[in-house]
Amino acid sequence: MACQDEFGASAGFPPIARDDARVLILGSLPSQASLAAHEYYAHPQNAFWKIMRELTGADGCYAERCESLRAAGVAVWDVLASSVRPGSMDADIQLGSAVPNDFPTFFAEHAGLRLVCFNGKKAEQVFRHLVQQPDMSAKLRLESLPSTSPAYASLSFDKKLHIWRGIIGPEIDRGTGNDRIRDSGYESL
């Protein structure tokens, strides 16, 4: 369970994942709202769950939304297991205190992963700095996505959704045989 230790370090959550996951979406570290709610992307203005509803049908209570992601082959985790970060801004993550999650074990247990997506630039930067191995790009496609955080308001929801759909949608379709994502009309944005 997520918490803050005696040094003020925030500790993250276990991954949302099934063994057959094809897509991994990585954030940096849970926000204060997420820590308080014990849920990924709990801030009411974060667009993550709204985007996932469009891409995977994830709706309902938190447990139901998580199950929809698992069923669609989507896993969610954070790059960091813990780090000191006053507040919720990624820019305030203190990299000297950062401890990455155990990706070698996760990747070994989820051998069907094809795509790793970063929900925002900080997640990508921290992953590339603390986790990425030279041969990783040969095995996995790594993609940057615009942050769903309310702090990243330079793109509209529709533009964020269009980008997320273009990168993640084909992998979801590949696993389900569902053409709903491609046929949604967003290609014209």
pLDDT tens for each residue of 111-131: 999 999 999 999 999 999 999
How confident is the model over 127-146, as pLDDT tens digits?
A: 999 998 877 777 899 999 99
Look up residue 140 and give its two tokens. Answer: 């996995």
Length of the chain: 189
Of 123, 188, 183, 143, give the one whose Cα is nearest residue 162. 188
User: Rounded mean pLDDT of 61-65?
Assistant: 97
Q: Which amino acid is at 11?
A: A
Q: Are 69 and 76 in contact (CB under 8 A)?
A: yes
User: Rounded mean pLDDT of 51-60?
Assistant: 96
Q: Which amino acid is at 23?
A: V
Of 145, 48, 118, give the one whose Cα is nearest residue 39. 48
E strands, the chain, in order: 3-4, 9-11, 23-27, 74-78, 80-84, 94-100, 115-119, 141-145
State in Å, rounded, how far the first CA of the chain is from the last one.
Answer: 40
Please give the Cα distance from 137 to 140 (Å, whole number).
5
Burial status of residue 110 (CB atoms within 10 A of its CB: 0-12, 13-18, 19 or more): middle
Look up residue 162 and give its two tokens. Answer: 């269009």
Top-confidence residue, 18 or 153: 18
Confidence band (pLDDT; 50, 70, 90) for 87? Answer: low
Of 140, 134, 130, 137, give the one whose Cα is nearest residue 28. 130
Tell me the Ramachandran region of residue 127: left when phi exceeds 0, alpha when psi lies from -120 to 50, beta otherwise.
alpha
Top-confidence residue, 100 or 91: 100
Domains of the chain: 3-188 (3.40.470.10)
